[in-house]
Amino acid sequence: MMPEHTTSNGNTMHRKRIALAAFTAAAVAAAVSAASYWQASAEERPSPDRLQRDADAIVDVGVTGVQARVTDGDGDTRAVVSGVADIETGEAVDDEGLMRIASVTKTFVATVVLQLAGEGALSLDDTAEDWLPGVVQAEGIDGGEITIRQLLQHTGGLPDYADEPDWGTEAHFQRTRYDIADPEEVLAAALAAGPVGEPGEQWSYSNPGYIVLGMIIEEATGHHWAKAVHDRIARPLGLEDTFWAGFTAKTPEPRAELYQRFEPGGDLVNVTEYIDHDASGGLVSTTEDVDRFMRALIGGDLLEPAQMEEMQRTVPVTGEGYDLIWPGGASYGLGVFRLGFDDCGEGLWVAGGDITGAMTRAAATGDGAHSATVFSSTELRDSLESGVAQNLATNDLIEHALCGRN
């Protein structure tokens, strides 16, 4: 699972991997009971096909609402929904609803950086210090030793965000949800935790690394990183519903309400409104737009062959929990995962995002001809087991939709 991308508290912004809280039977019972309530009874529904059953299965583990979109080699697209957009009103999920796409933002940012490299505006072997003198410096961390390639691949040795004592609680979320953080202050606070390894030594997911990349884009282009994403990707591809969230806490409609369970067996809390705006996860989009982006990217429409080769040169994904959610194995290129699935040959290219109240997974076959995108308007982080269950159910949908097609 991607490390969670959460709100700021002045000088810091916080991320966390799957919570290792104790799993309780009460949490499972609550999830199953809620899912049964949100959905119509089996007798009231027509017999669902495989895609619909797989979307329903994600709801069955406790997710409030799901959108899933699959596109075939002819460009024909089918979208299904499950659950509800609002547990208070029972409003139906909109298959064109907007969603915070969290770390899928990183794949957009990586694409821009690789485009700039192809144009000669920067080199992947440039260091952070070359572009941002004095910014990526802390005890044990020297930006002069960390390349742009390493930042893109999470091998720069940079830490992820530090935690506060009450991180992960509802109280922390309510206290920080409307805070706005300055990127350099966020970065400095994160780097104070010290390195996780030597540059190039190992893969270790780092949201701060992509804040650095956003700042490098701004230095190279003279524009905010989100404008570069818009001008170079969203506008050419006609992604009319992909945009930077900015400093607003509200996501426009249509959208599903976002929910988080903060403790095992606890109530679902509406977390729809909060601010999250940096280059590691600040975009909003739709399944249609993300699906189109992944097909264009993996299909070779956005990058020249040399830059595609760089993007798809991977290193092993390591760290606690990844083997549980991706049992088929995972590696990481420059802004994109390569995941192994049964009957998927060499695997699928996947962009993933996890943020308070929302999960996004977008996958494409090796030729970019077939794709699947899944939005879930709940993040199950109340226990290791619930987080794994949500990931595995999402994996099943993607595997059933795309594998055997390579």
| 176-222 confidence digits (pLDDT tens) | 999 998 999 999 999 999 999 999 999 999 999 999 999 999 999 99
Say how far apart CA 213 and CA 200 lie, in whole Å: 17
Residue type, 209: G
Least confident span in 16-20, 94-98, 354-358:
16-20
Residue 279 CA, chain-centre distance (Å), reads: 12
| Contact indicator for 344, 370 with CB cutoff of 8 Å | no
User: Which of 62-66, 177-181, 380-384 has the largest mean confidence?
Assistant: 62-66
Domain hosting residue 298, numbered range: 4-40+48-91+100-402
Name the nearest CA neighbour of 374 among 345, 346, 354.
354
Name the nearest CA neighbour of 260 among 19, 14, 78, 1.
19
Check pLDDT > 90 for residue 27. Answer: no
What torsion, rounded to 10 degrees, do the Cα atoms 191, 193, 198, 203 define? -90
Domain of residue 363, CATH code: 3.40.710.10
| pLDDT, position 17 | 31
Q: Which two tokens stand for residue 378?
A: 């709940």
**Angle in degrees, CA 136, 141, 142, rounded to 5:** 65
Give me the number of domains the chain comprises: 1
| Contact indicator for 178, 249 with CB cutoff of 8 Å | yes
The model's confidence at residue 320, banded by pLDDT at 50, 70 and 90, is: confident
The pLDDT of 27-35, averaged and rounded, is 38
Say how far apart CA 316 and CA 329 lie, in whole Å: 8
The pLDDT of 25-34, averaged and rounded, is 37
Longest dimension (CA), the chain: 64
- C-alpha distances in angstroms, 29 versus 41, 118, 124, 349? 18, 52, 50, 34
| pLDDT, position 404 | 65
Residue-wise burial string across 4-15, b where 16 or more C-beta atoms lie within 10 A, e elsewhere = bbbbbbebbbbb
| 214-233 confidence digits (pLDDT tens) | 999 999 999 999 999 999 99
**Angle in degrees, CA 196, 199, 200, rounded to 5:** 110
| 255-299 confidence digits (pLDDT tens) | 999 999 988 888 999 999 999 999 999 999 999 999 999 999 999
Q: Which two tokens stand for residue 180?
A: 């706005």
Mean pLDDT of the chain: 89
Check pLDDT > 90 for residue 13. Answer: no
- pTM (2 d.p.): 0.89
What torsion, rounded to 10 degrees, do the Cα atoms 201, 205, 210, 213 define? 10
For the chain, percent of residues with pLDDT exceeding 70: 87
Check pLDDT > 70 for residue 28. Answer: no
The model's confidence at residue 343, banded by pLDDT at 50, 70 and 90, is: confident
Check pLDDT > 60 for residue 34. Answer: no
Say how far apart CA 135 and CA 216 lie, in whole Å: 11
| Contact indicator for 111, 99 with CB cutoff of 8 Å | no
Sorted by sequence, the CB contacts under 8 Å of residue 356 that are 6+ apart come out as 4, 5, 6, 7, 173, 258, 260, 271, 274, 276, 379
Say how far apart CA 221 and CA 214 lie, in whole Å: 11
Check pLDDT > 90 for residue 19. Answer: no
| pLDDT, position 181 | 87
| 127-165 confidence digits (pLDDT tens) | 999 999 999 999 999 999 999 999 999 999 999 986 566
| pLDDT, position 167 | 73
- C-alpha distances in angstroms, 127 versus 16, 34, 81, 199, 315? 27, 50, 44, 11, 20
Residue type, 366: G
